[in-house]
Amino acid sequence: MSMEGLVIAHLGQSIAVEHENKIILCQPLRRLETVAVGDKVSWSLTAPDQGRIEAVLPRRSLLARPARNNKVRPVAANIDKVFVVIAVEPYCDFLLIDQYLAVCENNQIDVALILNKIDLVQSETIEKELLVYQCLDYQVHRVSSITGLGLAELKLALQNEVSLLAGQSGVGKSSITNVMVPDRNLKTNSVSETTKHGRHTTTTATLYHIDTGGDLIDSPGVAIFGLADLDIQQLAQGYREFQPLSGNCQFNDCRHHHDKGCAVRAAAENGNITMTRYQRFLKLTQKMGH
């Protein structure tokens, strides 16, 4: 008999599926790599506490990362919202923020920013750039995982949704996750234990339930997800302020570089859109090899 379950962890050799508050270790019918944390699956029991995944149910979103042989590997599915975590230390990488925003915009995933470590002396440049993002309707949560400032509001923002924290190493993603999921280590152990191998099992990603509602996917693998297979037009789609303009470009395959009659470039030069964001767009296109 097949049942529906939720993939909460991708372990080394198997997949942890949650079903009615129990964790069942499953093997997929096809390859392990085709199943991602956050996936809803149909599965059936093969032995006590062991099962087989028969099918992955349709996803509402998917984040993938490049893998060998020009393939992409799904890492987290059904994410509603990505929170890009930044801080004054390590200093904020705005190119990376824009890259995350572009990927999310192209995957129909909601995206917001978290400025962590507000207990430290702040930077005027970061404040200025954050204002730009806020004007583009991106939410900015200001928190300190050390003093607890802003964390109650953040917990509310995580309710009823599946979220993922993205960002450079050292900005405080684990610290924030620990506050949102205080019994995280306990849960990690219970997932490892079900494997019945004495050794520690490495997980690529884990989904945690937050006590006040909502799920948080903790994934070192997607902490820095790349531009994957975005093309230049899709990257431009990731810049919200370009949208009302790109229709006015002289050519409809405009790359918004030095193309003749480019309305986006003109707007950046006139100050109608922010030059720093436009310049980062150009930089990202270079990075993509265009």
Q: How far is the CB of 243 from Zn ion (least distance, A)?
A: 12
Nearest CA among 3, 2, 62 for reference residue 33: 62
Tokens of 9: 């962890």
Q: How far is the CB of 146 from ligand GDP (least distance, A)?
A: 4
- Residue 137 burial by CB count (10 A; 0-12/13-18/19+): exposed, middle or buried? exposed
Single-letter amino acid code for the residue at 55: A
- 139 sits near ligand GDP (criterion: CB under 6 A): no
Report whether 166 contacts 174 (CB < 8 A). no
The site partner of 262 among Zn ion, ligand GDP, none (C-beta below 5 to 8 Å per kind) is Zn ion
Give which of 172, 166, 152 is closest to 212, Cα–Cα: 152
Distances in Å between the Cα of 142 and the Cα atoms of 69, 145, 147, 153, 259 are 41, 10, 12, 9, 39
| Residue 264 near which of Zn ion, ligand GDP, none (CB within 5-8 Å, type-dependent) | Zn ion
The DSSP result for 94-119, as a single string, is: HHHHHHHHHHHHHTT-EEEEEE--TT
61, 107, 145, 285: which one contacts ligand GDP (CB under 6 A)?
Answer: 145
- For residues 107 and 145, which CB has a smaller minimum distance to ligand GDP in the complex? 145
Size of the site for ligand GDP (CB under 6 A): 14
159-178 residues in contact with ligand GDP (CB under 6 A) are 169-175
Q: Extract the tokens encoding 192.
A: 């490892």
Give the contact letters, 81-120, x = binds to ligand GDP (CB under 6 A), - = no: -----------------------------------xx-xx
How far is 220 from 46, CA to CA, in rounded Å?
31
For the chain, strand residue ranges (E) read: 3-10, 15-19, 22-28, 40-47, 50-56, 62-66, 72-77, 81-86, 110-115, 140-142, 162-166, 206-209, 215-218
Q: How far is the CB of 220 from ligand GDP (least distance, A)?
A: 9
264 binds Zn ion (CB under 5 A): yes
**Minimum distance from residue 285 beta carbon to Zn ion (Å):** 12
Nearer to Zn ion, 6 or 268 (CB): 268
170 binds, among Zn ion, ligand GDP, none (CB under 5 to 8 A by kind): ligand GDP
Candidates 68-76, 128-136, 143-151, 262-270; binding stretch for Zn ion (CB under 5 A): 262-270
Contacting ligand GDP (CB under 6 A), which of 78, 107, 144, 219? 144
d(CA 151, CA 216): 14
CB 25 within 8 A of CB 201: no
Q: How far is the CB of 248 from Zn ion (least distance, A)?
A: 8
Q: In sequence order, which residues have a C-beta less than 8 Å from that of residue 113 and are 6 or more positions away?
A: 83, 84, 85, 86, 97, 130, 133, 138, 139, 140, 141
Q: Please, what is the minimum distance in Å from the beta carbon of residue 271 to ligand GDP?
A: 35
Question: Is 195 an interacting residue with respect to ligand GDP (CB under 6 A)?
Answer: no
| Shortest distance (Å) from residue 66 CB to ligand GDP | 22
One residue of 158, 164, 249, 267 binding Zn ion per CB under 5 A? 249
Binding site for ligand GDP (CB under 6 A): 116-117, 119-120, 144-146, 169-175
Binding site for Zn ion (CB under 5 A): 249, 254, 256, 262, 264
